[in-house]
């Protein structure tokens, strides 16, 4: 407390302003941290929404393929009433217009290929004419493929479904198939099957409009117990058809197992990322959407930096203005203090030029000068009284001394007169 009382007004004010600034900065940092946590929480929701949009887009695409398959089935049903479309000999000399029509249907309906399969399992015709043409899906080299699987299921007259998205050798790419029987007069006369266009699904997966700069989507399937990548990712550059060795807590591993979720994690490069993962039931594949946390918080970083710069700039301006103001206040105080010291040392003839000060300081200066004049007058009066008193005391003293001398001489005379008189008697 003693040291505090010894401080100047300027130092005391700076200390209080510094304490207020630190307190305000602490509050701002706390608010900024809360805003950051809110952004991170919203980031989880955002990344999950992006994943949900992609899964929904694939769901919608697959549902449209079911409708398109019905159109293909209707076309074959109509063609079978006029042509023997489920016989090999017909397609050896089939009309070019019919083949062109099938190619147009495949392109318009989002199919990579369209197959015509006999009841015996022979692939009689395909638009792409790949190595699966003229093979048998029951006994041939592709009897264990997903195309053979949907064909066998269609023979049992079940509802069509999309096969697993596995690598298909004739197309040298991953593929999924849908098959549906062609029924005439209550009997199955053949099977129409389609291969979903891989590029259309890849376009949905790699659509980066919501992912900004660092976002990407990784899609994998579980094939023969192994996690296998489907497409080239945007930044990680995982090659298609690559078998990945992943720990059980990896989001992609959980996704291909049917799990879902979202969280913040550190990727293989050491970057902090926000990820969301889920399972696409139609294609039976796992999807993971990821984005760098730094990009997610980029706006927060900019706003926080701007706020801190503005805060410190404001503090510097306020401190500067207050210091200038206090110095202007301190100048008359120092002058008055100096004059007070002069008065205490007996110098009463002081003159203060207060024209440069504010009205309040001018009033105080005038009162101070008036006080100094009055003190000088009082001291002058006291000195005059003291001098008069001293003169009177001196006069009295001199008079007393004279009286004392007179008394002394009178006594001496009397004593002499007393001694002489008896002799005379």
> How many Å apart are CA 110 and CA 199, to the nearest integer?
9
Assess if residue 193 is contained within a domain.
yes
Is the per-residue pLDDT at 152 higher than 70?
yes
In whole numbers, what is the pLDDT of the chain averaged over residues?
83
Label residue 237 left, alpha or beta by phi (over 0 means left) and psi (-120 to 50 means alpha): left
* pLDDT bracket for residue 15 (50, 70, 90): confident
Q: Say what percent of the chain tops pLDDT 90.
A: 23
The residue whose two tokens read 């004279």 is 402
Q: Report the CATH number at residue 136.
A: 3.30.450.20
233 located within any domain? no
Q: How far apart are CA 106 and CA 362, in angstroms?
A: 98
pLDDT of res. 68: 87
- What was the pLDDT predicted at 411? 67
Does any domain span residue 159?
yes
Q: Answer with the one of 200, 235, 256 that is the final residue of a domain.
A: 200
Number of domains in the chain: 2
Domain that holds residue 142: 64-200
Flag whether pLDDT at 356 surpasses 80: no
Decide which of 178, 200, 222 is a domain's last residue: 200
Under 8 Å CB-to-CB from 292, ≥6 apart: which residues?
214, 271, 272, 273
Distance of alpha carbon 290 from alpha carbon 217, whole angstroms = 7
Q: What is the mean pLDDT of residues 133-146?
A: 93
Domain boundary residue, one of 177, 200, 223: 200
pLDDT of residue 425: 43
Picking from 52-56, 180-184, 351-355, which range would have the lowest pLDDT averaged per residue? 351-355
Say if residue 191 is in the same domain as residue 79. yes
Residue 272 lies in a domain: no
Task: Judge whether 352 lies within some domain.
Answer: yes
Res 270: pLDDT: 82
Tell me whether residue 21 is in a domain: no
Distance between CA atoms of residues 78 and 72, nearest Å: 10
Is residue 266 assigned to a domain? no
Residue 252 lies in a domain: no
Q: What is the pTM of this model?
A: 0.69
pLDDT tier, 2 (very low <50, low <70, confident <90, very high otherwise): very low
Res 74 pLDDT > 90: no
- Model pLDDT, residue 45: 92
pLDDT above 70 covers a percentage of the chain that reads 89
Ramachandran area for residue 53 (φ above 0: left; ψ -120 to 50: alpha; else beta): alpha
């Amino acid at each position: 407390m003693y040291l505090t009382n010894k401080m100047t007004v300027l130092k005391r004010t700076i200390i209080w302003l510094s304490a207020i600034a630190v307190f305000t900065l602490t509050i701002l940092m706390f608010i900024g941290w809360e805003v950051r946590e809110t952004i991170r929480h919203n980031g989880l929701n955002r990344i999950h929404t992006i994943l949900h949009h992609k899964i929904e887009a694939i769901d919608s695409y697959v549902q449209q393929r079911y409708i398109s398959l019905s159109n293909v089935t209707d076309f074959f049903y109509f063609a079978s009433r006029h042509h023997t479309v489920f016989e090999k000999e017909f397609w050896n000399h089939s009309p070019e217009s019919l083949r062109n029509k099938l190619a147009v249907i495949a392109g318009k309906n989002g199919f990579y290929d369209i197959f015509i399969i006999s009841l015996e399992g022979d692939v009689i015709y395909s638009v792409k004419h790949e190595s699966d043409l003229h093979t048998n899906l029951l006994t041939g080299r592709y009897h264990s493929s997903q195309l053979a699987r949907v064909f066998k299921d269609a023979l049992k007259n079940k509802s069509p479904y999309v096969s697993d998205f596995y690598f298909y050798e004739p197309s040298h790419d991953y593929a999924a198939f849908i098959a549906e029987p062609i029924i005439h007069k209550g009997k199955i006369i053949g099977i129409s099957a389609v291969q979903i266009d891989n590029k259309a699904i890849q376009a949905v997966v790699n659509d980066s409009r919501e992912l900004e700069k660092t976002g990407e989507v990784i899609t994998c399937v579980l094939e023969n117990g192994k996690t296998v990548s489907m497409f080239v990712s945007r930044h990680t550059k995982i090659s298609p058809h690559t078998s990945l060795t992943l720990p059980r807590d990896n989001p992609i591993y959980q996704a291909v197992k049917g799990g879902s979720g979202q969280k913040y994690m550190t990727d293989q490069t050491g970057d902090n990322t926000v990820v969301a993962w889920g399972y696409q039931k139609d294609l039976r594949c796992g999807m993971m959407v990821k984005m760098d946390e730094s990009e997610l918080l980029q706006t927060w970083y900019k706003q926080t930096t701007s706020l801190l710069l503005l805060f410190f700039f404001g503090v510097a301006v306020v401190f500067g203005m207050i210091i200038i103001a206090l110095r202007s206040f301190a100048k008359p105080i120092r002058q008055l203090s100096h004059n007070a010291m002069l008065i205490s040392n007996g110098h009463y003839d002081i003159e203060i030029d207060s024209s440069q000060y504010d009205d309040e300081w001018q009033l105080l200066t005038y009162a101070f000068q008036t006080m100094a004049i009055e003190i000088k007058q009082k001291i002058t009066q006291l000195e005059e009284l003291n001098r008069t008193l001293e003169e009177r005391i001196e006069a009295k003293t001199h008079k007393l001394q004279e009286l004392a001398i007179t008394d002394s001489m009178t006594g001496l005379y009397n004593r002499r007169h007393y001694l002489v008189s008896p002799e005379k008697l």
